[in-house]
Structure 1
Amino acid sequence: MSATTAEVTRTVVTESPLDPGLTLGGLQRGAGDPVHRRTPDGAVWRGIRTPAGPATVRISAASADGAVTGRAWGPGADWVLDRLPALIGAEDDPAGFEPGLPLLQRLARRFAGWRVCRTGLVMESLAPAILEQKVTSIEAWRSWRELVWRFGEKAPGPTPFPLWVQPDARTFATLPSWEWHRAGVGPQRAEALVRCARVASALERTVGLDFAEVERRLRTIPGIGVWTAAEVMQRAHGNADAVSVGDFHIAKSVGWALAAEPYDDEKMLQVLERWRGHRFRVTRLIELAGIGAPRRGPRLAPRDYRAF
């Protein structure tokens, strides 16, 4: 049996049941994400590019006994399953989180199976985060799909549907300008992603460092600001305190949830200070609940850079 088709399995048992669908949902880039699928039985499938090679992982939970099982295929299968506890959030520690407010207490109970994951893969989160800078989600996810389909590779193993692994850093670093244009990616985002891809090895080594140092290193790269750094640290580094300052929706949603009025970033950070160490935990619980300020203005229309 080849390394591509051989199956490797690992089961993690936790004291409190975890919900992989909730926990890993933050990794998905739209309903049509080529590298992430959730099946009707609740299992999560991901195509992952690891340092050991591409891998496919299927993660499912048995809520009755707190068991989460990962089945993986491909050269990177062992790498993924070695890090399964971090990936499903079993290493996240919410013990110091004190909701304080009735709303947050209810949300913490409602989404008790959600944890902050840690993928340990920086470029996996950094590439799509850059694509999402200052554009609509529709634009960003369309570009993500096109880049993955055209320059990624099919995920290994017996997947029941098409599943892909995102392009490697070298591919991103060497894409010519017309290919970015064809994928609908503007020059600023393309240049930022190329710069990151050229130093991808150094960025991957930030996993495990102090969060302040991680942010400093990320933000030394032109085109990587506080929002992008936070989006990456939440996913790749498991930072439960990283706040996505500069997001179009988050500050407004936090304000509406906590005070029935939209906040700006400054006010949001001021209010969230009482939960320092768990500020991302607060914003994600509000996001999972779908709480947001009413939309009163026209939505930003998606742009198509390929038309120019």
Structure 2
Amino acid sequence: MDPEVAYRAASGRDPRFDGRFFLGVTTTGIYCRPSCPARKPLRRNAVFFPTAAAAVAAGFRACKRCRPDSLPGSRHWDASGDLAARAVRAIRDGVVDELGVAGLARRLAVSERHLHRVLVAEVGASPLQLNRTRRAHTARTLIEQTSLSLTDIAFAAGFGSVRQFNEVMLGEYGVPPSALRRPGAGAASGRAGALGPGDPASDAAPTVVLRLRHRAPYDAVAMRAFQRAHAVAGMDLIGDDGAFTTGVPAPHGTAVATVDWAAASADHLTVRIRPADIADLTGIVAKLRRWLDLDADPQLIAEVLGPDPIIGPLVAARPGLRVPGSLDGAVIAMLTVIGQAVSLKAAAVFAARLVAAFGTSVSDSGLHAFPTPQTVAGAGADALREIGLTGARAAALHALASALARGLELSPASDRAQARRELLALPGIGPWTADYIALRALGDPDAFAPGDLVLRKSLGARTEREASAIASAWSPWRGYAAMHLWTSSAYLP
């Protein structure tokens, strides 16, 4: 990574860059991860290394705050850093609640003991401790914003018992949960009384209304337009007031979530969530935040893109433009393949036919969930051609679904380089598709598709190499630059 690009990424303390490079401070002789909370050095005092081993070899010692080392000098140390970053992203997205620590370790292709050792060494906490803090943060949001009982909140946040809930909240915040309740907390409808994991949605799971906060500015108009353009009949619903309703995959069944755009404010979006099981709520909120890109820092991105003569005017015109993420990486990947080389309108028609043929009903919402990779793979290429796909595209969709069913992982916890290699090895999937999936499903903020015709035309580039050279100045936020170019041309891939 170019030193100037690396410095920009480190200035934002974005954990998505952990494992990609390490920051050395010449005045102190210490090296850190990009997300280290310590004060960032002046540019002239910062040097960068591709691995922690290289930093150690240059005479730097590990920071005691961000702990970029566990085995200083190990040839595997750069891989360990990437493992920690992927694990933290997976824990944030609720993998531990869904699969347990053992399941998280299997997903990351390491032993449970090794995962524990790496996380304790690098971030100072075990997987269970990180997940406990995540549950506590969710619980506090529910306490402050809803009228759910504390018993309901305990299960909604993923705690196994009320006693555990009380102990963790007291340890995290120094006060019992009841002391965190604010007068006039928002309403949450549903059955009163204690809720437990496994209760059916129709009888137990309430509809919870939450304010999901974000850093201002936030271009809600652009995000809303993107949702409308990509809506799939039968899977998504657009209300008369513009509210967008869709299904959110969760362990106990697909939840129904509605983004109430009419109630959006300068610092938050309002969402209504009806989970199949209250215990799924924490993971659902994490997916919604990723889908709506609520954790980005628009000021930091503008500092990099704003001075650029090409992107700068676009950033000024649309401050706070975000990159839509995904609720399910596998679904985004399959929709991307369906939409290759056709218009958005045609892609929506094909996707709607697929949902109608193979989707499953979502409770009593009237919506259907997109078919799973196993279902699409089992249907066969011939059945996929019947929805209108060409033979080549049906074969590509079937090959992708089969790979996903076999274990191809497309999520923020994925090894991005490995996922790209596996995608490009599939028939009918080229660099553009792999780059777009990296941007939306893998959550890579620096993903850029130099082969995209609209991007090349906007940049006046004749070749992919020229487009890549121009875009290099925008790292590590090339994904946001691409979104500005697409939006300015009224093209929504």
Q: What interval of TM-score do these two structures reach, taking the shorter chain for normalisation?
A: 0.7 to 0.9
Secondary structure class of the residue paired with 1:249: helix
Aligned with 1:148 (options 355, 366, 384): 355
Alignment pair present for 1:10 and 2:214? no
1:123 partner amino acid: A
Alignment pair present for 1:198 and 2:402? yes
Partners of 1:142 and 1:82 in 2: CA distance: 29
Give the deviation of 1:210 after TM superposition. 4.6
Matched-pair contact (CA < 8 Å) for 2:435–2:448: yes
Match of 1:297 in 2: none
Q: State the identity %.
A: 22
Alignment pair present for 1:246 and 2:451? yes
Match of 1:234 in 2: 439
1:74-97 C-alpha deviation (Å, 9 max, x unpaired): 437623223332222122244143
Match of 1:72 in 2: 273
Could you say if the C-alpha distance between residues 177 and 89 of structure 1 is closer, same or farther in structure 2, counting changes exceeding 3 Å?
A: closer
Aligned with 1:185 (options 369, 381, 389): 389
Please, what TM-score do these two structures have when normalized by structure 2? 0.51
Alignment of 1:29-40 (within 5 A): 30=230, 33-40=233-240
Could you say if the C-alpha distance between residues 220 and 148 of structure 1 is closer, same or farther in structure 2, counting changes exceeding 3 Å?
A: same
Match of 1:273 in 2: 472
Matched-pair contact (CA < 8 Å) for 1:57–1:71: yes
Give the deviation of 1:16 after TM superposition. 1.0
Partners of 2:490 and 2:340 in 1: CA distance: 22
Alignment pair present for 1:91 and 2:291? no
Secondary structure class of the residue paired with 2:408: helix
Partners of 2:373 and 2:342 in 1: CA distance: 23
Secondary structure class of the residue paired with 2:305: coil
Matched-pair contact (CA < 8 Å) for 2:445–2:478: yes
Aligned with 2:485 (options 276, 286, 302): 286
Between stretches 275-284 and 82-91, larger displacement belongs to: 82-91
Partners of 1:135 and 1:64 in 2: CA distance: 35
Rg (Cα) greater in structure: 2
1:221 partner amino acid: L
Partners of 1:186 and 1:211 in 2: CA distance: 29
Could you say if the C-alpha distance between residues 222 and 50 of structure 1 is closer, same or farther in structure 2, counting changes exceeding 3 Å?
A: farther
Show structure 1 runs of 5+ residues with no match.
256-260, 293-308
Matched-pair contact (CA < 8 Å) for 2:215–2:295: no
Show structure 2 runs of 5+ residues with no match.
1-190, 192-199
Aligned with 1:175 (options 379, 383, 387): 379
1:31-71 C-alpha deviation (Å, 9 max, x unpaired): 65443344453432222334543222112354545122221
Partners of 1:81 and 1:60 in 2: CA distance: 15
Match of 1:224 in 2: 429
Report which of the two has the higher share of helix: 2
Give the deviation of 1:26 after TM superposition. 4.3
Give the deviation of 1:144 after TM superposition. 1.2
Secondary structure class of the residue paired with 1:22: helix
Larger relative contact order (C-alpha < 8 A, sep ≥ 6)?
1
Matched-pair contact (CA < 8 Å) for 1:35–1:165: yes
Could you say if the C-alpha distance between residues 11 and 136 of structure 1 is closer, same or farther in structure 2, counting changes exceeding 3 Å?
A: closer
Partners of 1:45 and 1:3 in 2: CA distance: 17
Matched-pair contact (CA < 8 Å) for 2:291–2:325: yes
Partners of 1:40 and 1:103 in 2: CA distance: 37
Q: Hey, which bits of structure 1, 4+ residues long, moved more than 4 A?
A: 24-33
Match of 2:110 in 1: none
Could you say if the C-alpha distance between residues 123 and 278 of structure 1 is closer, same or farther in structure 2, counting changes exceeding 3 Å?
A: same
Alignment pair present for 1:46 and 2:246? yes
1:140 partner amino acid: A
Partners of 2:391 and 2:475 in 1: CA distance: 36
Partners of 1:153 and 1:21 in 2: CA distance: 31
